[in-house]
Chains A and B, each alone.
Chain A
């Protein structure tokens, strides 16, 4: 494995037909880190991954591994491994041949190739399927082959492009744990692209949230989860209640259209009189508050209920609760000030 301390992206920009698909992504990745690129579809996260892999040339910026400039190298000479969304296994090669292909391309000796291939296949628990063709495997097994193929060359960086999105819900959870386990036991450095915030939170050491090709926030899962940098990140991280209003006297706002005053925590610079957006997660809304609301819709979610309720002054709220509610029931809601985040409302 190429020894290195850090990988540096410096103002990486990619345009398509003059429009920025990714603009000025700067990021330092430490060896052994698990980075997730998170964002809705079309946010530029796959562009970023492909630029890093060398599959897309950059429009501007540079990529460095310590002091080696990588962005001028073709993908096959960067020494990265990649797991594709639809696995992209070589359909005419057996599992074994798929895994050993990269070793052969790197000129590894035959004995060494055999040993490392066997190890990699054992690592993903596919010993008894080693001679099968990809077409004979299930989706989860194909995914394991793709992972084995990517890590067997001991890449300095493993790139994963929504690797779990084609799997069913149960398998997705299993593979998530598997990927984290492999990352830790092999000491890999990983960049992982996903649109699933839960996946990103559970897997990564650090998150990069992208929107419209621009970085919105870089931080640990906890930071991004509890302190989203702006209303878009909040929206994407599960703050389903976004309430428009106007800031007044510091940490409180007047909700629109009712003019009711609530207390919150401002994020960024919020001046009195500015239009703001108050964001709060469904699970953070208390049901022992002082504001009355009527239940409109109830969805059963297993252990909990997701409830849509309307306050008397016309606010529509999403809540979560463990108690069974019926349509038409009255609840009393309240907003804990430390959980209600106030963001400047930008023109969108």
Chain B
């Protein structure tokens, strides 16, 4: 080994670069080949429509109200669902952050809908909330309504399916963020004379807020990618025609690959914009250690 190669190797090693970096190669190759390349390919395809100029596929998407409105439809389902899931999680998680008997059982039951996924949830919702399902039967029998309420094959069916799978997800995340906040901080506030309302709003909530932003983002991603339930329990040609359906139809019904890629990329862009806004707002909050004192 010559002195110069040793020196170069030392200099690289000092910056954290050495032979162990080779271990990164397979994973990077996979992600580049199966994620980055297809994405770039999709962008290239979307810029080469069968007819028209470079941006014709995008122009077509935005010119056609039937396509364009899918963005609004998707956001109208995903944003309220994600917001409800996060907002409902906070008081429930706040109440359950301590240790109590059956907590593990409770969290286990909560993972069930996440594990089952949207397809099975859709099937169950069709049975349960359908016109002859148990829920409507209960409403009619108790006299709360005269006729069955229509809760499937429309906006509400999709909304319910997103809450059933999204709420436990948000709840478990919020719960883990809450457990990360040192309980002695609240006790310290209590010794200074703060009531529970002040303790929650002045101490816990500000520390929890960045976690809530992250939770919102992750829940929103789940809700935004709604596809099977929008078809199965929704109204896929009308009120729940979400953007993923538009992309899917373009690709596999009309075989318009430029249009499909354009729709997929618009979908990704819209999602990233929402996430960027939320994370941007999160940047204004205190983000740091939530432990009290030495960590």
Contacts and interface: CB of A to CB of B under 8 A. Distances in A.
Same complex for A and B? Answer yes
Interface of A: 15-16, 57-59, 72
B1 A57 contact: no
B19 to A, nearest CB: 10
A72 B1 contact: yes
Interface in B134-166: none
Nearest to A73: B1
Interface stretch (B7-15, B48-56, B258-266): B7-15
Interface in B1-42: 1, 6, 9-10, 13-14
Nearest to A16: B14
Nearest to A15: B14
B10 to A, nearest CB: 4
A58 B14 contact: no
Interface of B: 1, 6, 9-10, 13-14
Contacts of A58: 10
A13 to B, nearest CB: 11
A210 B10 CA distance: 24
A259 B149 CA distance: 100
Contacts of A15: 14
B6 A59 contact: no
A16 B1 CA distance: 24
Nearest to A57: B10
Contacts of B14: 15-16, 57, 59
Contacts of A16: 14
Given A57-B9, A59-B14, 9 more contacts: A15-B14, A16-B14, A57-B10, A57-B13, A57-B14, A58-B10, A59-B10, A72-B1, A72-B6
- For B6, B9, B10, the residue with the greatest tally of chain A CB atoms inside 10 Å of its CB is B10
Contacts of B6: 72
- For A16, A58, A72, the residue with the greatest tally of chain B CB atoms inside 10 Å of its CB is A72
Contacts of A72: 1, 6
A259 to B, nearest CB: 47
A15 B13 CA distance: 12
A57 B10 CA distance: 6
A68 B199 CA distance: 67
11 contacts: A15-B14, A16-B14, A57-B9, A57-B10, A57-B13, A57-B14, A58-B10, A59-B10, A59-B14, A72-B1, A72-B6
Nearest to B11: A59
A298 B263 CA distance: 81
A72 B10 CA distance: 10
A58 B11 CA distance: 9
- For B1, B6, B14, the residue with the greatest tally of chain A CB atoms inside 10 Å of its CB is B14
B62 to A, nearest CB: 50
A57 B17 CA distance: 12
Nearest to B6: A72
- For A57, A59, A72, the residue with the greatest tally of chain B CB atoms inside 10 Å of its CB is A57
A57 B18 CA distance: 11
Contacts of B1: 72
Nearest to B15: A17
B271 to A, nearest CB: 38
B153 to A, nearest CB: 56
A15 B10 CA distance: 11
A58 B13 CA distance: 10
A59 B7 CA distance: 7
